[in-house]
Chain A
Amino acid sequence: MNAIIASNLTKKFGSFTAVDHISFDVSEGEIFGFLGANGAGKTTAMRMLTGLLKPTEGKALVAGFDIKKQSEKIKANIGYMSQRFALYGDLTISENIRLFGGIYGMDAKLIAEKRDRLLDELHLKEEKDSLVSRLPLGWKQKLAFSVSIFHEPKIVFLDEPTGGVDPAARRRFWEMIYAASEQGITVFVTTHYMDEAEYCNRVSIMVDGRIEALDSPHALKTRYAASSMDEVFQMIARKATRTAD
């Protein structure tokens, strides 16, 4: 069973084709890396899959539901963490968790139970009543990720979740992603850090709205005779004609 099936997915803004007939499958429990330079169309593709944008052409199934007609069902089954850090800064950690639990229709008792467990895991027990805006960026990102999978979605979409933090913090973040994947959550992650690409089961590389390569990091490195994903990416992305906006 595939968590995501996309075929010929296309998004045009006027005459500009942001996403150009992309097709791919993501299987359940997989960590799928969605790579590309800035402006390659990653965020647009992701927004179509999460039901935030309507595709111009093509179709896709997410968690078995059609993104055009069943976006409400999709929304109940996914988690989403956007590029811009999106918890409420003027709410406390504990209030943010309760809010998002409530938005996904969880009852108060279940929220309280899971919240305590989560705060334990994140070592944020003492911090639970401090405002989120006071947390360091790395912690905010970990918290935002935890909140996005708090309601145990089938698939979680992460849009450049680790922007702006150092490699050590990124590695700790990825440990959380692995833990989620072991629970059976499919992870769809965009990034432009190539060290992160190495952690994925499979990656696709987008250039100018099209998917130019799609395989496991190991297979890609072999095919391009490269020693790292960074080299692979440089070779593929060189074809780009579009400049980042």
Chain B
Amino acid sequence: MHTLSAFVRKEFHHILRDRWTLIILLVTPIIMLVLIGFAMTTEVKGTTFMVVAPERDVSTSELVQILSQSVYFTFAGYLPDEQAIDSALRQGMAGLIVVFPSHFASDRTNTGTSSVAVITDGSDPNTAKTLTNYASAIMLGWAQKQNTTIQNTLSIGIETRLLYNPAMKGAYNFVPGVLGMILLLICAMMTSISIAREKESGTMEILLSSPMQPVVIILAKTIPYFFLSCLNLVTSLAMSMTVLGVPVRGSWVALICVSLLYIFVGLLLGVMISTIANSQLVALLVSGMGLMLPVMLLSGMMFPIESMPFPLRLISHIIPARWYVSAMRKVMIKGLGFGSILTELTVLACMSAVLLVISLKKFKPRLE
């Protein structure tokens, strides 16, 4: 106990004396959350659209007006004919083109049906998909209103509702993901670099020739950074709730439990990395770059795991972030409690046990 407390105190001295590193560690999560938060949004706002309307009448101009009233679209003018569509898209004058047929209004009154073409730039399929979804939703809404108020004919419409995220806010999707990435990366970096630094400066040799047990060294290296990571968790959550407007709908206890467990996994991952990294630079590269890609691609923060090919889906199971992101989505967005994240909690607990055992085994009480 003497040994552990003496060593933990020493670690706190290191952290508090190295002001700049401390500031970087505390500010990085905030910057990353805000940067990625605003850059990674899938919401499309203020896209310019143009219209081809051979016969302009009340209904076409009403539709144009309704589209431009939404936050997603801005009206950029009429195109003379369909030949102009291609160049308008190519030159970036419009992100979306609405094409009315020649007898739009009369078709509607005579046959009851009429169609509108929506053309988008498919070189960015995600955005194109979102744009067409928005535009058709708006126009369908208009058509339904027409049917009920003016013609009063019975028609069956399909109403889609997005539960938990009715406003389709991008932040709801990425905040749990970014939290998962930031916490894992920073935790792993902190412990791996701090152990690698002891190897570099030669103090590790002294520690190894002392009667200190490896488990004490590992614990003493994780405890101070555990506190630091909790601070990071608090600031990140505060940021997502205020600036990014993502609420915590579910149980706070569940959220804190899974986060603390996840932080512990991250710190132990750093300890494991440090058993192979002999310099601070290598530790930084492995824990920063080495972890970033798998976490970004395979945790489900950017791409849905369900749509990945089987081998990748398999690999994603060993990415701790996958489980954390999924638990955080359930708790923060869906508003669920403890019972719903038992799987995630169990997996993370197993991971930390495995990491601890590997670190202890690989943490050589001798040199080389």
A complexed with B: yes
Q: List the interface of chain A (C-beta within 8 A of B).
A: 47, 50-54, 71-72, 75-76, 78, 80, 82-91, 95, 98-108
Determine the chain B residues whose CB is within 8 A of the CB of A82 once the complex forms.
Answer: 202, 205-206
CB-CB < 8 A to A72: which residues of B?
211
A91-B201 in contact given A98-B6, A107-B2 (Cβ < 8 Å): no
Name B's interface SS: helix
Q: Helix, strand, loop or mixed for chain A's interface?
A: loop
Cross-interface CB contact of B6 among A75, A83, A86, A99, cutoff 8 Å: A99
A54 touches B5 (CB 8 A): no
Cβ contact within 8 Å between B2 and A88: no
B6 touches A47 (CB 8 A): no
Partner of A99, one of B10, B202, B209: B10
Give the distance in Å from the alpha carbon of A80 to the alpha carbon of B211 in the complex. Answer: 11
Q: How far is the CB of A162 from chain B (nearest CB, A)?
A: 16
Q: Which residues of A contact B5 (CB under 8 A)?
A: 102
**Do B367 and A90 have beta carbons less than 8 Å apart?**
no
| Interface bracket on B | 20 to 34
**A104, B211: Cβ atoms under 8 Å?**
yes
Complex-state Cα separation, A64 to B9, whole angstroms:
34
Contact (Cβ within 8 A) A90 B13: yes
Chain A residues with Cβ under 8 A from B212's Cβ? 103
A86-B366 in contact (CB<8A)? no
> Do the beta carbons of B366 and A52 come within 8 Å of each other?
yes
* Min CB–CB distance A108 → chain B (angstroms): 8
Can you list the 3 inter-chain pairs with the closest CB atoms, starting with the nearest?
Answer: A102-B6, A84-B202, A80-B209
Query: Can you list 24 A-B contacts with CB-CB less than 8 angstroms, sorted by A residue number?
Result: A47-B367, A51-B365, A51-B366, A52-B208, A52-B209, A53-B368, A54-B366, A71-B365, A75-B210, A84-B205, A85-B202, A86-B202, A86-B203, A87-B203, A88-B10, A88-B14, A90-B14, A99-B6, A99-B10, A100-B210, A103-B3, A103-B207, A104-B3, A107-B2
Counting residue pairs across A and B whose Cβ atoms lie within 8 Å, the total is: 82
CA A186 to CA B202, docked complex, whole Å: 24
A52 touches B10 (CB 8 A): no
Q: Is B209 a contact partner of A75 (Cβ separation < 8 A)?
A: yes
Residue of A nearest to B13 (CB): A91
Of the listed residues A50, A76, A83, the one surrounded by the most CB atoms of chain B closer than 10 A to its CB is: A50
Q: Does B90 contact A (CB under 8 A)?
A: no
Assuming the A-B contacts A90-B14, A95-B13, A105-B2, are A52 and B205 also in contact, with contact meaning beta carbons closer than 8 angstroms in the complex?
yes
Closest A residue, CB atoms, query B204: A86
- Other-chain residue from A52, A78, A85, A98 in contact with B367 (beta carbon distance below 8 A): A52
Partner of A80, one of B2, B14, B206, B365: B206
What's the least CB distance linking B204 to chain A, in Å? Answer: 9
Please tell me which one of the listed residues B208, B210, B367 contacts residue A104 in the complex, with CB atoms under 8 A apart: B210
B residues near A53, Cβ cutoff 8 Å:
366-368
A101 to B367 alpha-carbon distance, docked (Å): 23
User: Which B residues lie within 8 Å of A100 (CB)?
Assistant: 210
Which residue of chain B is the closest to A159 with respect to CB atoms? B205
Complex CA gap A76/B365 in Å reads 14
Contacts of B57 in A (CB 8 A): none
Docked Cα-Cα span, A50 to B210, in Å, equals: 9
